Chain A
Amino acid sequence: MLKLIINDKNITAEEGETILQAALKNNIYIPNLCYDKRLRPYGGCRLCVVEVEGQARLFAACSSPAQDGMNIKTDTPKLRKYRQTVLELLLIHHPLDCPVCDKAGECDLQDLAYEYGKPDSRFIRHRKASPPDVRGPLIELTANRCILCGKCVRICRDHQGRGALGLIGRGFPTVVQPAFGEILECDYCGQCVDICPTGAILSKTFKFKARSWFLEEKETTCPFCGCGCTLTLGLREGNILRSRGKEGIGVSDGNLCGRGRFGIDYINSEHRLKNPLIRENETFREVTWEEALSHISSNLKETINTNGAASVGAIGSQRCTNEDNYVLQKFMRNTIGSGSIDSSAALGYAKVQKAWNMAFGRNSHPIDLQSPYGKEILFIVESDISVTHPIFGLNILEASRGGAQLIVADSRETKLTRHSSTWLPIEDGTGVALMNGMMKVLIDKDLIKKDSAAGLKGFAELQAMLEEYTPAKVSQITGISEEDITAAAVALGTAKSRMIALSVSATENTKGMDIALAAANLTILLGEDPSTLQIPAEYSNTYGLYHSGVRPLKPEDKGIMEILYGDQTAFSALYIMGEDPVTTFPDSSKILKRLKSLDFLVVQDIFMTETAKLANVVLPASSWGEKDGTFTNAEGKVQKVFKVVDPAGDSKPDWMIIKNLALTMEKELGVRSLEDIQAEMKESQPTVTDEETTLTFNPAKYVRGEEPSQEFPFQLVIRDVLQHSGVTSTSSKSLDLVISEALLEINEEDAKKQGVKDNSHVKVTSQHGSIFLKAKVSEEVPQGTVFVPSHFPYAKINTLTHLASNGESPISVVKIEATLGK
């Protein structure tokens, strides 16, 4: 601990902290333009100069380490004059076009010029006057306003791990731009927009929308992935005009990805449902809420009377709040009298929960977004976490830059593999075999915690099962060399601390429950506690949904398998809230058949989804941003979401619709307001404090589902793209500008053999159906595998997929045919 004095105030600082860091921590502001806490000191702008007693020269506070006994002054006449000169120099080239600059009012340069600048300049002004680069879809580069602090270049390269921008040139003509003046093609995270201290990098979606001083700011939780970042929304006249991250707020601490920053405009889509609709033959008729609810009420009652309550099922949503989901399951259990309720998490996160329970004896599995830090080795298995959970991905990259060894097993190049110390190019869907092989190496080389592991339940079985997973065999399955498998296992075994991370999501088809079990076995074998294993929940409220009771709880309760895929006669009515099974669930032809066979289907959603098109009644729900409530992120943190804009049309919050429906059915739920629900939830779900951990080994064999054959020679791998999250983000106009269609990525050689050209259309056929897609020929894709994202409803990717058993990886095999013409 260091003691120093800044402006006559005694403060303390940690060893290694700079003067600026120590000052900011103690709420002492020192002017700066090129500093950001996420970046290494740069010392470029020279505005943070301070005087240190007994030293003749001035110190740049951002790059001078704080020392014991320093007596520092941050604001003296000498420093003011010095800063005045720096600003005078910066403003020679700046266009001073603040009246038409979106940054005005929250611009660091403007604020500092106001504070220190002088009205006249000793220099002849030479304003830069190059036209702005408006070619990119979301981000605009206005080089004229740039002061060349390099913050954008550094955040993109050093923090975001992308490096899309560079300081091109030398001296005065230097400009910030993509390599070779090409169109900016990047992650579209917009971190550069937030970090720019002037108006040189702007969000195109916010341009000329409002002066910053007219914006009302409101913090809320992001509706997309399980990270649960805090968005700072800029609102005006009842519209969300922008979203940005703010340092020090929420789990994201100022970071955001492109989805949270640009994707939330999906709520303004013209395709939003505005009124309740009742099916009349092939069309829908707009009706009042009263008519819709009494129609549902009488139909559900009739179904219960004729086929029994158990013939009614429901599906909840990972995108709806805890309150919505809680009310839905309460409605099902109390008003209807059926516990058959489940969600798409059953095909993703519920598998993790089950594995977690089997391996560690625990019911909740919160991750820790900070867990990569301080670990010696990070092992990522078949998961592109930078895409599925971008902020968690940033922490992994940051930790690896801090010295952690990063081993990534993935079939194709990703941001994580690019930044890894070791990339194990693995055959898709064989992660279980890889980990089994690694465990065998660890046991054979005696690198396991024998005393703790050998006594555990299942150890003998695990050891017996692992016998066949010799490096030679594993190498044959995974395509990774024996040496690499052994080296990775030894590195993991000898490290002092480790993190193993992966994702198991319903929108990926390479992993099932077995991979979570294998990862848990590996964790236990290494003598680590469960916190070593990090498997984040997929969406904004996947974690909360699971814990609000939207899943079968009793033995007689039916789950998603029975509700959507099981016996055709078991269900006669379904209530689907905020989910589009036809698009997002595997084997959609089976689902279509099931939904069409129902007597009565209610779909409550924000859009007219493919599923809603089949419904008897469609109810318009308010979206995120139009209702209050809570989301629980992957860390198990309950975070508030706020109503910031008016609901679209006549839409209502999901919980309110269901509450009203219960009222119509004369079986009140006993909750009238959000507060009632929250109070009841608190009571019924005691907060989980440290659960007891019971370790068990669950040997998981590598099982192959569909195998490539002569007829279907390609593996179809479904993966998320960075700019989208689930289905909702595809309704965002902004994100649509970046990626608006499902492209089938195919290897160059394969494309040649099949006669497929880049950008041409192909027919993709599996054993379950066929669709047409546009092909993208890529050298980054391994041979024999084609990649496609499942976000886009129109692409109907799930026509090709099949429902796999819980454990195995559900990869489907397909054939690719070039279509004639183009």
Chain B
Amino acid sequence: MLQEIDRVIQQYKGKPGSSIPVLQRCQEIVGYLPPEIQKIVARGLKTSAAEIHSVVSFYSFFTMKPRGDHNIRICLGTACYVKRVEEVLSKIKDNLKIDVGEVTEDKKFSIETVRCLGACGLAPVMVIDEETYGAMTPKKVPEVLAEYS
């Protein structure tokens, strides 16, 4: 894993504006961005850890907490909200027994909320990994989650 990160750093080293793509790749490799990884990136890119941490903490795409094998991203945007996404969310939370931003004990699922997924026509909408689920209802939740267990 560390070797892979090193390769990524070497590839981008010295190029301006390289911290975001490097962090993106690192997150793909590790799954999240713990301080240790950010420090390695900072050293490799000849910048400071504070600088890297400020980038990571600014973009919601980056996470410093480990995610589950399957990351659930659920939209709280206006359209979804009007279509009662809150109920879907609380059903998921109940079902998995975790809160937003947490990971299930078996490390299988994590929940994340987003502002808009750009699919308002399908509201309420959620995305698990790369798969989109539209017109969600609390009722549908158990069967959708079952697909992943």
Interface flag for A169 (CB, 8 Å): yes
Which stretch in B20-28, B52-60, B92-100, B111-119 binds the other chain?
B52-60
Which stretch in A66-74, A156-164, A235-243, A674-682 binds the other chain?
A156-164
Q: Nearest residue in A to B52 (C-beta to C-beta)?
A: A179
B46–A169 touching, CB < 8 Å: no
Binding site for A on B (CB under 8 A): 35, 38-39, 42, 46-54, 57-58, 60
B50–A169 touching, CB < 8 Å: no
Q: Nearest residue in B to A413 (C-beta to C-beta)?
A: B43
A179-B35, A179-B38 known; A163+B58 contact, CB < 8 A:
no
A348 to B51, CA, bound (A): 39
Interface flag for A168 (CB, 8 Å): yes
A169 to B62, CA, bound (A): 11
Binding site for B on A (CB under 8 A): 153, 157, 162-170, 177-180, 418-419
A179-B35, A179-B38, A180-B35 known; A170+B50 contact, CB < 8 A:
no
A177 to B53, CA, bound (A): 10
**A-chain residues with CB within 8 Å of residue B52 when the two chains form the complex:** 179
A179–B48 touching, CB < 8 Å: yes
Selected contact of B57 from candidates A157, A163, A170, A178, CB within 8 Å = A170
B58–A178 touching, CB < 8 Å: no
A166–B50 touching, CB < 8 Å: yes
* 7 nearest CB pairs, A to B: A163-B48, A166-B50, A166-B54, A179-B49, A179-B53, A179-B50, A180-B35
A163–B46 touching, CB < 8 Å: no
Min CB–CB distance A413 → chain B (angstroms): 10
A166 to B52, CA, bound (A): 8
**A/B interface sample: 10 pairs, CB < 8 A:** A157-B51, A162-B48, A163-B47, A163-B48, A168-B53, A178-B49, A178-B50, A179-B39, A179-B53, A180-B38
| Sample of 4 more A-B contacts, CB < 8 Å, known A169-B58, A178-B50 | A157-B51, A169-B57, A170-B60, A180-B49
Query: Counting chain A CB atoms within 10 Å of each CB, which of B46, B49, B54, B60 scores highest?
Result: B54
A166–B46 touching, CB < 8 Å: no
Q: Nearest residue in A to B39 (C-beta to C-beta)?
A: A179
**A-chain residues with CB within 8 Å of residue B35 when the two chains form the complex:** 179-180
A169 to B59, CA, bound (A): 8
Query: Counting chain A CB atoms within 10 Å of each CB, which of B48, B53, B60 scores highest?
Result: B48
Selected contact of B46 from candidates A164, A165, A167, A418, CB within 8 Å = A418
A170–B58 touching, CB < 8 Å: yes
**B-chain residues with CB within 8 Å of residue A162 when the two chains form the complex:** 48
**A-chain residues with CB within 8 Å of residue B50 when the two chains form the complex:** 153, 157, 163-166, 168, 177-179
Interface of B is mostly: helix
**B-chain residues with CB within 8 Å of residue A180 when the two chains form the complex:** 35, 38, 49, 53
**A-chain residues with CB within 8 Å of residue B48 when the two chains form the complex:** 157, 162-164, 166, 179
**A-chain residues with CB within 8 Å of residue B46 when the two chains form the complex:** 418-419
**B-chain residues with CB within 8 Å of residue A168 when the two chains form the complex:** 50, 53-54, 57
Q: Nearest residue in A to B14 (C-beta to C-beta)?
A: A421
A178 to B47, CA, bound (A): 13
Q: Nearest residue in A to B34 (C-beta to C-beta)?
A: A180
A778 to B124, CA, bound (A): 54
A418 to B42, CA, bound (A): 12
A167 to B53, CA, bound (A): 9
**A-chain residues with CB within 8 Å of residue B53 when the two chains form the complex:** 166, 168, 179-180
**A-chain residues with CB within 8 Å of residue B58 when the two chains form the complex:** 167, 169-170
Min CB–CB distance B133 → chain A (angstroms): 28
Min CB–CB distance A601 → chain B (angstroms): 50
**A-chain residues with CB within 8 Å of residue B47 when the two chains form the complex:** 163
Query: Counting chain A CB atoms within 10 Å of each CB, which of B38, B39, B53 scores highest?
Result: B53
**B-chain residues with CB within 8 Å of residue A164 when the two chains form the complex:** 48, 50
Q: Nearest residue in B to A177 (C-beta to C-beta)?
A: B50
A483 to B49, CA, bound (A): 32
A177 to B57, CA, bound (A): 12
Min CB–CB distance B19 → chain A (angstroms): 12
Q: Nearest residue in A to B50 (C-beta to C-beta)?
A: A166
Min CB–CB distance A139 → chain B (angstroms): 14
**B-chain residues with CB within 8 Å of residue A179 when the two chains form the complex:** 35, 38-39, 42, 48-50, 52-53
**A-chain residues with CB within 8 Å of residue B39 when the two chains form the complex:** 179
Q: Nearest residue in A to B42 (C-beta to C-beta)?
A: A179
Min CB–CB distance B22 → chain A (angstroms): 16
**A-chain residues with CB within 8 Å of residue B54 when the two chains form the complex:** 153, 166-168
Min CB–CB distance A747 → chain B (angstroms): 17
Min CB–CB distance B46 → chain A (angstroms): 6
Min CB–CB distance A144 → chain B (angstroms): 19
Q: Nearest residue in A to B58 (C-beta to C-beta)?
A: A170
**B-chain residues with CB within 8 Å of residue A178 when the two chains form the complex:** 49-50
Query: Counting chain B CB atoms within 10 Å of each CB, which of A153, A165, A177, A179 scores highest?
Result: A179
Min CB–CB distance B2 → chain A (angstroms): 14
Query: Counting chain A CB atoms within 10 Å of each CB, which of B46, B52, B58 scores highest?
Result: B58
**B-chain residues with CB within 8 Å of residue A166 when the two chains form the complex:** 48, 50-51, 53-54
**B-chain residues with CB within 8 Å of residue A418 when the two chains form the complex:** 46
A410 to B6, CA, bound (A): 24
**B-chain residues with CB within 8 Å of residue A167 when the two chains form the complex:** 54, 58
Q: Nearest residue in A to B38 (C-beta to C-beta)?
A: A179
A353 to B1, CA, bound (A): 54
A178 to B49, CA, bound (A): 8
Q: Nearest residue in B to A419 (C-beta to C-beta)?
A: B46
**B-chain residues with CB within 8 Å of residue A170 when the two chains form the complex:** 57-58, 60
Min CB–CB distance B44 → chain A (angstroms): 12
A169 to B55, CA, bound (A): 8
Q: Nearest residue in A to B48 (C-beta to C-beta)?
A: A163
A168 to B60, CA, bound (A): 13
Min CB–CB distance A90 → chain B (angstroms): 21
Min CB–CB distance B108 → chain A (angstroms): 27
Q: Nearest residue in B to A162 (C-beta to C-beta)?
A: B48
**B-chain residues with CB within 8 Å of residue A157 when the two chains form the complex:** 48, 50-51
Min CB–CB distance B57 → chain A (angstroms): 5
Min CB–CB distance A480 → chain B (angstroms): 20
**A-chain residues with CB within 8 Å of residue B42 when the two chains form the complex:** 179
Min CB–CB distance A619 → chain B (angstroms): 48
